Amino acid sequence: MADEPRQPVRKVVFPAAGFGTRFLPATKAQPKEMLPIVDTPSIQFAIEEALESGLDDMLVVTGRGKRAIEDHFDRAPELEHAVERSGKRDLLEIVRETADLVDLHFVRQKEALGLGHAVLQARRHVGSEPFAVILGDDLIWSDGRPAIGQLLDVFARYGAPVVAVERVPRERTGSYGIVDVDPTPVAPGVWEVRGLVEKPDPSVAPSTLAVVGRYVLVPEIFELLAGQGPGAKGEIQLTDALESLRRGRRMLALEFEGVRYDTGDKLGYLKATVDFALRHPDLGDAFAAFLRERAAALDPIQGAGARAVAAASGEASA
């Protein structure tokens, strides 16, 4: 199929209006997006990924009780003054760098009506341009091109909307939007999408390729979302709108290169914290040593746990 007309992607949308109920009581008074992975809020990783990929016009879709996100990326004169007086220049630089990362735009999702509804709130800001969407709960680590940058490269080449996908165990397909793809890839890791199904039963799932939190979309998606009724769980599902969009134009799926952590899930959050701590330039070696000691204490006879942690720490620091 011939390449479609396209224009550069400049804008990115971060849906961040969820309640974070899986992390209560920690999220009762603070946004789940501000929960730290070691020493950095999870939403900052998403914003840095966008910046590294060349996106600099950013909109955060928030809700009630999310002011801490806006404050985090603002200047904090009192804090800066106190840190400066203490003589901790390194910490002062960190505080100022966070404020200087990017100028963010904010809009509120006034009702929790689903991911599709959250994306719809970006309509006025995005206008008639293609745009990216990054879900902060899906933290993706890559030692090369960031995940959203990989999708942007596919969009630049083919001019078609792109969704990020990852293979999941078949028994887990009921937790994701699943794509049906042409069996012959367009390019390595790039697939033509023939259909999308929201959270199918594993027995009827068309594949094990699950849509995860990275998208490059076209503005036609807004009209579809606006006219779409509630889907699963009574919410406006982005997957349903994507399926409608696909019926009218080409859509691609990319198996990105990188490691995804579902930080909206407690176990996924802990996995991310451990791996990012092992990669941390100041903490990595000491933390790896601690994990080896802890694993050895849990399995003093065989030491299998220690070997597993040693292997994991070696992979994380690679």
For 243-290, the pLDDT digits (tens) are 999 999 999 999 999 999 999 999 999 999 999 999 999 999 999 999
Is there a domain that residue 5 lies in?
A: no
Instruction: Report the range of poorest mean pLDDT among 155-164, 235-244, 274-283.
Output: 235-244
Residues 159 and 188 in one domain: yes
Residues 94 and 208 in one domain: yes
Separation in Å, CA 193 to CA 57, 236, 270: 28, 21, 33
Q: Determine the average pLDDT of the residues in 132-153.
A: 95
Nearest-angstrom CA–CA distance, 215 and 151: 7
SS3 141: strand
Query: Could you read off the pLDDT of 29-41 as tens digits, one per residue?
Result: 888 999 999 989 9
Residues 96 and 135 in one domain: yes
Do the bridges between strand 40-41 and strand 36-37 make them parallel or antiparallel, or are there none, so unpaired? antiparallel
CATH code of the domain containing 177: 3.90.550.10
pLDDT-based confidence at residue 90 (cuts at 50, 70, 90) = low
Is there a domain that residue 250 lies in?
A: yes
Which residue segment(s) compose the domain that 295 sits in? 280-317
Residues 192 and 290 in one domain: no
Tell the residue number behind the tokens 């995804």, with chain if given.
260
pLDDT-based confidence at residue 81 (cuts at 50, 70, 90) = low
- The rounded Cα 178 to chain-centroid distance in angstroms is 17
Residues 127 and 232 in one domain: yes
Tell the residue number behind the tokens 């009192």, with chain if given.
78
Instruction: Report the range of poorest mean pLDDT among 82-86, 88-92, 177-181, 295-299.
Output: 88-92
Is there a domain that residue 4 lies in?
A: no
Q: Which residues of 89-128 are buried (b: 16+ CB within 10 A; e: fewer)?
A: eeebeebeebeeeeebebbebeeebbbbbbbbbbbebbee
Query: Could you read off the pLDDT of 16-25 as tens digits, one per residue?
Result: 988 888 888 9
- The rounded Cα 193 to chain-centroid distance in angstroms is 21
- pLDDT > 70 fraction of the chain, expressed in percent and rounded: 83
pTM of the complete model:
0.86
pLDDT of residue 1 exceeding 70: no
Query: Could you read off the pLDDT of 166-192 as tens digits, one per residue?
Result: 999 999 998 888 999 999 999 999 999
